[in-house]
Structure formats: C-alpha cells, structure tokens
Amino acid sequence: MYAPGPFRVEDQREVAGIIARYPFATLVASGPDGPVAARTPMLADLDEQGRVRGLLGHIARANPFWRVADGAEVLALFSGAHAYVSPGAYRTKAETGRAVPTWNYTAAEVRGRLAVTTDRDALYEIVDRLSAAMEAGQVQPWDIRDAPADYIDRLLNGIVGLSMENASAEAVRKLSQNKSKDDVEGVMAALSASRDANARQTAADMAQLPRG
C-alpha cells in the first residue's frame, strides 16, 4: 500500500478500527483472464492485541469470484470517507499562490490467502458473527436465531463462506497532515460546509486526528 510517512497508520489497532467502521470491501484476485473482483462486507478477525490477523465474510454461491479466488492470494480494499480538496480551501493560497487540488481520504488494505467453505456450521458461524457486528448499533439488534431454522438453512445453501488467515493489514489516512494549521482549518471549514455527506465526514475525520 502506498502510504507516505505522515499518512501511514502505524497502530494496527487503528487499522482494525478503520475496517470495522468501513467494512464494505472490494476483494480482488487474479483470474485466468485477468483481475476479478467481488464486493461484500468483511469482518476483521483480531488477535489478543486487537490486531488484524484475518477476515471473515460470505458471498453468493452464484458469484463466480469464489471459484477463482479459493486458495489464491487476495487483496481486500476498504474505502472510508473521502473528499476533493479545492485549492481555494487553503488560507495561504491568497498569500503564496502555492496550492493545487488534492483528495483527502481514509483507506485500508488486507492481503492474504483466501479459503472458501460450504460447510453448514462454518457458514452459520460466519453469518452469526458478521450480523452481530453489523447489528451492534441497532435499537433492537437482529440475531440469526430470530429467524426460523429451516429458513436460515435454505439461505445458507445460497452462499459460500470466505476466510483469510495470516493476513497483513495496512491503512492510510491522508487528511492534510502535511499542511499548516491555517490550511488545515481552511480545508475543514470548506468540507464541513459542503452538501456532500462524504466531505462532511472527511472534515469530521480531520477534526479527530491528533496533530502536533
């Protein structure tokens, strides 16, 4: 992952936090006819220190991706909030003219060998863990045991489970860390005033970032 010094996320627990916050992944593998991709939420499997050691998820059995990716090296891409930054947002532009457009963003990557399972018990556990994580913020969290067992069994027949072990995880936060305090404040003000929800969230991410 390209992540120059000030933008690289060094704390692996923060990497895990980015994946938990933005779990919808793009999985990329190399197929016989070129790159193939699939999109699905993935749950980070953490070690005792809270570091990412793997991923869990599932996709439709009808999706051809899993036949190509089973046993192969796969790259999982997680994209957080991101926004265009206009040169006009920099307060020093009026004084120096030294400003060009850029993009602020948060992203994570996980790389490892993917394993596919059709085992019923393994699928049940994956769906149980994934739904528990996604339902955590709901007023009345749904539980897989809320649905009739035969209904769940029928749906499990339509998916395959995905797991990645011994994975390497990286993340980047490019949020104007290389800019002056005045320019950072200008960018945050511009993004906060945007009608685009992504831009406003990027401003919020900038506000939460510790700065020296």
Contact 189, 181 (CB under 8 A): no
At residue 70, what are phi and psi to the nearest 5 degrees?
A: -60, 120
Determine, yes or no, domain membership for 47. yes
Spatial separation of the C-alpha atoms in residues 199 and 160, rounded to whole Å: 36
The string of pLDDT tens digits covering residues 83-92 is: 999 999 999 8
Q: What is the pTM of this model?
A: 0.93
Q: Within a domain: residue 33?
A: yes
Q: Which residues contact 24 (CB under 8 A, 6 or more apart)?
A: 39, 40, 41, 78
pLDDT tens digit sequence for 15-57: 999 999 999 999 999 999 999 999 999 999 999 999 999 999 9
DSSP β-ladder status, 73-85 and 52-60 = unpaired
Integer CA distances (angstroms), 54 to 116, 135, 163, 166, 167, in order: 13, 21, 7, 6, 5
Strands 34-46 and 24-31: antiparallel
Q: What is the CATH number of the domain that holds 48?
A: 2.30.110.10
CA–CA separation, 198 and 69 (whole Å): 31
* pLDDT tens-digit readout, 115-171: 999 999 999 999 999 999 999 989 999 999 999 999 999 999 999 999 999 899 999
Residue 178 in domain: yes
Its domain, for residue 56, covers 5-118+163-200
